Amino acid sequence: MTVFNPWEMACQQLDMVADKLNLDKGIHAKLRHCKRALIVSVPIWMDDDTVEVFEGYRVQHNLERGPAKGGIRYHPDVTLDEVKALAMWMTWKCAVVNIPYGGAKGGVVCDPTKMSLKEIEKLTRRLTSEISIIIGPEKDIPAPDVNTNPQVMSWIMDTYSMGVGYSAPGVVTGKPIEIGGSLGRHTATGRGAMLVIHEAMKHLKMKPSDTRIAIQGFGNVGSSLARYLHELGCPVVAVTDVSGGLFNEKGLDVPALLAHVERQPQRLIAGFDGGDHLAGEPAANEALFKLDVEILAPCALENQITADNAGNIRARIIAEGANGPTTPEADVILHENGVLVLPDILTNAGGVTVSYFEWVQDLQSIFWDLESIDRELTRIMTRSFHEVMAIAEREQCDLRLAAYMLGVNRVATAVKLRGVFP
Ligand code: NAD
């Protein structure tokens, strides 16, 4: 069995679009490399008075269009190659929605579900101190990702501010409102995904009430997507998370499920009594992927839809809330089967878009109301969907290749205009 390597997958995707765009060889080579990658050791005192050392990474892929932007992930399976891939995907994503950032990502190999809040705070503060040589409001701006949240962003902001000697809210996005966060940021990725899905539904003339949804992952992205699709009138019939899966053919009571998750210390769906149980993990995902639904939204991790299970998928649309959930081999199968894949670099770009709004507000110390944020997010996501769809129709290709053509071309143009130093 071949071992999945996200960096190889990201390079394979770039190679495909480089061919299609007839990209200059030198520019292609430049884009195939990350600009810089910092590996740090993060030693902390654990609650039992022993010292444990964690490995952390911050990778900046390309900075030609602006400062680096990308989340920080805490997960036992984090690897340098995963962080490099996620940084590259951030570069294309920022270019697809045309915001002035380059791509970055960070991660720490750890299992936060087995750590106390105090330990997570110490880990975050020491990590921030170690990577502070390359982050900053003009240089590289982290944000939340898997297992990190507004509280973690507060600690990053505070630690960085202690180092420079003044409050620097622009160093991270996804902060609480009280310390310079933006209205609408916490749910922006789910809201952006809903906006893209809604445009795709209109394109395919699908009625919300007849559009059944299955969602993998019920964290930041999956739960807010469920909320917005429910508000749109779509029955959300199934969800999974690390604790298992839930199914209700009439549609889950999403507000009740959200309230249930909010009450759980680990924010899990387990214990909710408003649906039948899909068999346990990892079988819950296999059952989820086979369901007779119109839309399947993977909102957990990479490498979920593969050549092994893509053929079982009955959904008409796959909406990638997660980064890299579908392998290139699975893409081919889905395309042959007529499944419309809404690619990650478009579908989940709402998060970085409102992060951009947050950063602009922090730099200007002027804060926008929610109406303005929602209006601007809707404008950018809708425009980006139609730009990608127009390329797909012109080039007779799938939406992933079309999104890559749009994003990579914008970055390649910036590289060409700036030239190679010295
Ligand atoms: P999160 O930590 O808030 O939630 C992750 C969810 O996935 C949890 O519900 C967890 O239980 C579930 N999960 C993990 N492994 C699973 C498995 N094997 N099967 C089913 N569920 C599983 O993370 P998040 O911020 O929602 O991020 C999810 C994905 O979205 C990641 O790929 C991330 O890179 C991407 N993303 C996040 C943002 C953001 O703003 N947070 C923006 C863009 C993309």
248 with 293: CB under 8 angstroms?
no
Q: What is the DSSP string of 198-265?
A: HHHHHHTT--GGG--EEEE--SHHHHHHHHHHHHHT--EEEEEETTEEEE-TT---HHHHHHHHHHST
pLDDT per residue as tens digits for the range 238-269 = 999 999 999 999 999 999 999 999 999 889 99
Q: Ligand 1, from 74, 99, 215, 220: best to mutate by most atoms within 8 Å of Cβ?
A: 220
Cα–Cα distance, 236 to 81 (Å, whole number): 34
The count of residues in the chain is 422
Is 416 part of the annotated catalytic residue set?
no
pLDDT in the model for residue 83: 98
146 with 219: CB under 8 angstroms?
yes
Q: Is 323 in the pocket of ligand 1 (CB under 6 A)?
A: yes
Q: How far is CA 195 from CA 65, 130, 322, 392, in A?
A: 25, 38, 15, 19
Go through the domains of the chain in sequence order and give each one's CATH number.
34-179 (3.40.50.10860), 188-347 (3.40.50.720)
pLDDT in the model for residue 282: 64
Q: Is 299 in the pocket of ligand 1 (CB under 6 A)?
A: yes
Taking the centre of ligand 1 as the mean of its atom positions, its distance from the CA of residue 268, in whole angstroms, is: 12
Atom of ligand 1 nearest to the CA of 304: 18
Taking the centre of ligand 1 as the mean of its atom positions, its distance from the CA of residue 75, in whole angstroms, is: 11
Taking the centre of ligand 1 as the mean of its atom positions, its distance from the CA of residue 71, in whole angstroms, is: 12
What is the residue with the minimal CA distance to atom 31 of ligand 1? 322
Taking the centre of ligand 1 as the mean of its atom positions, its distance from the CA of residue 112, in whole angstroms, is: 14
Q: What is the residue type of 138?
A: E
Q: Is 301 in the pocket of ligand 1 (CB under 6 A)?
A: yes
Cα–Cα distance, 110 to 53 (Å, whole number): 10
Cα–Cα distance, 203 to 51 (Å, whole number): 56
DSSP 4: P
Q: Look up residue 74 and give its two tokens.
A: 């805490």
Q: Ligand 1, from 111, 189, 320: best to mutate by most atoms within 8 Å of Cβ?
A: 189
pLDDT per residue as tens digits for the range 333-354 = 999 999 999 999 999 999 999 9
Cα–Cα distance, 233 to 369 (Å, whole number): 26
pLDDT in the model for residue 279: 75
Q: What is the pTM of this model?
A: 0.97
Catalytic residue among 93, 105, 122, 175: 105
Q: Is 285 in the pocket of ligand 1 (CB under 6 A)?
A: yes
User: Which residues contact residue 369 at a Cβ distance below 8 angstroms, ignoring those fewer than 6 apart?
Assistant: 183
Taking CA 279 as the corner, what is the angle to CA 274 and CA 284, rounded to the nearest 5 degrees?
A: 95
Using 70 as the pLDDT threshold, list the residues of the chain that sit under it: 1-2, 280-283
Residue 72: closest CA among 60, 52, 58, 53: 58
Q: Is 300 in the pocket of ligand 1 (CB under 6 A)?
A: yes
Taking the centre of ligand 1 as the mean of its atom positions, its distance from the CA of residue 123, in whole angstroms, is: 20
Q: Is 348 in the pocket of ligand 1 (CB under 6 A)?
A: yes
Cα–Cα distance, 406 to 382 (Å, whole number): 15
Residue 88: closest CA among 13, 20, 21, 140: 13
Q: Ligand 1, from 299, 303, 346, 355: best to mutate by most atoms within 8 Å of Cβ?
A: 299
Axis crossing angle, helix 6-21 with helix 399-418, rounded to the nearest 10 = 80
pLDDT in the model for residue 3: 81
Cα–Cα distance, 274 to 187 (Å, whole number): 23
The helix (run of H) or strand (run of E) holding residue 189 is helix 188-203
Q: Is 351 in the pocket of ligand 1 (CB under 6 A)?
A: yes
pLDDT in the model for residue 322: 97
Positive or negative, the CA dihedral 288, 290, 293, 295 is positive
Taking CA 399 as the corner, what is the angle to CA 398 and CA 403, rounded to the nearest 5 degrees?
A: 130
Q: Is 322 in the pocket of ligand 1 (CB under 6 A)?
A: yes
Taking the centre of ligand 1 as the mean of its atom positions, its distance from the CA of residue 336, in whole angstroms, is: 28
Cα–Cα distance, 309 to 289 (Å, whole number): 8
pLDDT in the model for residue 1: 56
Taking the centre of ligand 1 as the mean of its atom positions, its distance from the CA of residue 219, in whole angstroms, is: 5
Q: Is 150 in the pocket of ligand 1 (CB under 6 A)?
A: no
Cα–Cα distance, 78 to 266 (Å, whole number): 20
188 with 99: CB under 8 angstroms?
no
Q: Is 146 in the pocket of ligand 1 (CB under 6 A)?
A: yes
Cα–Cα distance, 344 to 393 (Å, whole number): 19
